């Protein structure tokens, strides 16, 4: 259960320096992916004299690491993180969370796609691995906090911790952190939350002589080497089958290769054409696992205004029925104005002021009050 937000809360205090909220007695485990962001995060902590050590997590079984360098899943990433830690004068360790990642993130990833939904594994990884299994092990190793290179900010409202968008809105990652609870957020440190440009981070890394200063940003899912569709074919072998592509009226237009390879809003790869030469392009409107059908239609048919979500988790104070808020439906999507229509123990129904496209079951819906993330849930259906 959560406390409902019935009136505008007092503004949270967000210090300019994210480390201002870190007690001098803190011992910080820095999650070092081998990228420039976590490298600079570690440097900022070390330079201010906090006791710290670096940790790189191993998430994939031996022989399944990605050939492209995507952060936590390559041999090169471990080497880069170790070199940066040595440059900063802090210890570095590699911790294996292969089994935790498989059971807490990848199994749900598989099951959601097999059921015709589109999950966001980064949300689950932050909740269950970085600030779940990693935080627990860090505490056993003597750490009081875990720092990451995420672009987000922490604040305080009295005794309550709050989560806010990063100063650099183009890099903001509060969406993928919205499921952190008070215990997790109290132990989280985001040293880069206040920077206003990724270019500043790279310049800082270069000035410090860090090996990762010019390293490209990681892209897509860290555990996927190549195309997501190819990874799904490997992981879901035997759990999908071809079926019909139909329009909203149920007329068969073609055949799909399996529900996991389609998502709401998708336009490319449908291999069907509109029924008239002058008709609008077709988009995926819905996946029907019970009939193994992909439903397609025009962009206008794709728009949704009412969203039902469950598995809700609120950082501190949840919204009240009738409250106004901003809603974000994708990790890099623009927030839209909305009204909270209904609430239950772990569910919510939202009405958007302006209908939105690409509202995909399985994705996260995150509620904001200005730049403060309130929390959110998992989209189950939309109309």
Catalytic residues: 125, 222
* Other Cβ atoms closer than 10 A to 219: 10
Please provide the distance, in angstroms rounded to a whole number, between the alpha carbons at the two ends of the chain: 27
Give 63-121 as a DSSP string.
T-S-SS--STTSHHHHHHHHHHHHHHT-EEEEEE-HHHHIIIIIHHHHHHHHTT----H
Q: For residues 361 and 118, what is the distance between their CA atoms, to the nearest angstrom?
A: 6
- The region, left, alpha or beta by phi > 0 then psi within -120 to 50, assigned to residue 40 is alpha
What DSSP element (H or E) covers 123? helix 121-125
Which residues share a beta bridge with 245? Answer: 254, 294
Structure-token pair, residue 71: 């952060």
Q: What is the DSSP letter of 13?
A: B
Look-up: residue for tokens 């025009």?
298
Q: Pick from 340, 359, 11: which is nearest to 160 by CA?
A: 11
């Amino acid at each position: 259960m959560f406390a409902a937000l019935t009136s505008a809360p007092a503004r949270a205090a967000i210090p300019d320096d994210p480390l201002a909220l870190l007690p001098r007695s803190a011992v910080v485990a820095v999650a070092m992916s081998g990228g420039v962001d976590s490298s600079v995060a570690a440097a900022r902590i070390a330079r201010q004299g906090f006791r710290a050590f670096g940790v790189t997590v191993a998430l994939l079984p031996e022989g399944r690491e990605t050939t492209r360098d995507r952060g936590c899943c390559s041999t090169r990433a471990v080497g880069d993180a170790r070199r940066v830690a040595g440059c900063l004068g802090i210890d570095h360790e590699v911790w294996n969370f292969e089994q935790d990642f498989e059971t807490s993130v990848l199994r749900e990833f598989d099951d959601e796609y097999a059921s015709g939904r589109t999950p966001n594994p980064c949300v689950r990884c932050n909740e269950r691995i970085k600030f779940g299994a990693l935080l627990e092990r860090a505490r056993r190793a003597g750490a009081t906090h875990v720092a990451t290179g995420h672009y987000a900010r922490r604040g305080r409202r009295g005794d309550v911790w709050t989560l806010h968008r990063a100063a650099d809105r183009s890099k903001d990652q509060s969406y993928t952190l919205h499921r952190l609870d008070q215990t997790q957020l109290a132990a989280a440190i985001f040293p880069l939350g206040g920077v206003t440009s990724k270019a500043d981070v790279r310049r800082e890394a270069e000035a410090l002589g860090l090996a990762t200063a010019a390293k490209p940003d990681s892209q897509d899912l860290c555990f996927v080497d190549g195309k997501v569709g190819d990874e799904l074919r490997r992981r879901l072998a035997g759990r999908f089958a071809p079926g019909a592509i139909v329009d909203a009226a149920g007329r068969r237009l073609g055949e799909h290769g399996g529900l996991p390879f389609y998502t709401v809003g998708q336009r490319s790869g449908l291999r069907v054409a509109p029924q008239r030469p002058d008709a609008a392009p077709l988009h995926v409107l819905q996946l029907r696992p019970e009939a193994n059908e992909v439903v397609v239609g025009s962009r206008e048919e794709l728009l949704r205004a009412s969203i039902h979500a469950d598995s809700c988790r609120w950082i501190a104070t949840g919204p009240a029925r009738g409250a106004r808020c901003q809603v974000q439906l994708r990790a890099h999507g623009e927030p839209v104005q909305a009204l909270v229509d209904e609430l239950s123990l772990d569910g919510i129904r939202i009405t958007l002021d302006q209908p939105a496209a690409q509202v995909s079951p399985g994705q996260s819906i995150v509620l904001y009050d200005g730049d403060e993330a309130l929390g959110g849930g998992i989209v189950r259906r939309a109309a």
